């Protein structure tokens, strides 16, 4: 029997984020005071500590800040997936998030690659992945 992958663990503050990904949208918080975007969700703006934060929909575009190709996962549930691409993507809006880059061969990966958010609506998961902008995911 395979080991189940640990999925997201939403907390009240982050529920809007995961609700949006389930709808195929990427949302982050924007501070009403200083205008800074942030991810992950917090009760305060990490820049100015204002508590008035709006949820805004991102373009879904970003660039690979850095990445690794995983051959020996830190968690056994991912062993059947190797090699897979784990990346930090910098959104055009500024925040960075961990994700997987899909629809690309590991050898094609590079820092600075332009990527776009893709959502897997075929599974009971609401993770957000990214694919090269010139190579969107085929429609399932």
Exposure of 31 by Cβ count < 10 A (0-12 exposed, 13-18 middle, 19+ buried)? buried
138 touches another protein by CB under 8 A: no
The residue range among 24-32, 49-57, 110-118, 132-140 that interacts with another protein, by the rule CB under 8 A, is: 110-118
Among 33, 36, 61, 96, binds another protein (CB under 8 A): 96
Q: Which helix (DSSP H) or strand (DSSP E) does residue 51 occupy? A: none
The pairing of strands 27-31 and 114-119 is unpaired
Name 120's Cβ contacts closer than 8 Å, sequence gap at least 6.
Answer: 127, 129
4 touches another protein by CB under 8 A: no
Beta strands in the chain (DSSP E): 27-31, 37-38, 53-57, 61-70, 84-91, 96-100, 114-119, 128-132
Task: Build a one-symbol-per-residue string for 40-79: x at contacts with another protein by CB under 8 A, - elsewhere.
Answer: x------------------------xxxxxxxxxxx-xx-
Among 31, 93, 99, 116, binds another protein (CB under 8 A): 99
Q: Which residues bind another protein (CB under 8 A)?
A: 5-11, 14, 39-40, 65-75, 77-78, 81, 83-84, 86-88, 96-100, 106, 110-112, 125, 127
């Amino acid at each position: 029997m395979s080991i189940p992958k640990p999925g997201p663990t939403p907390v009240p503050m982050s529920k809007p984020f995961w609700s949006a990904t389930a709808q195929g949208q990427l949302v982050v918080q924007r501070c009403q005071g200083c205008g800074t975007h942030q991810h992950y969700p917090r009760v305060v703006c990490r820049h100015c500590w204002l508590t008035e934060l709006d949820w805004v929909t991102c373009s879904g575009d970003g660039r690979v800040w850095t990445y690794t190709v995983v051959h020996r996962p830190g968690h056994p549930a991912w062993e059947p997936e190797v090699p897979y691409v784990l990346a930090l993507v910098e959104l055009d809006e500024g925040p960075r998030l961990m994700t997987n880059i899909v629809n690309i061969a590991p050898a094609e990966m590079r820092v600075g690659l332009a990527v776009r958010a893709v959502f897997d609506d075929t599974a009971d998961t609401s993770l957000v992945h990214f694919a090269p902008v010139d190579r969107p995911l085929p429609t399932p």
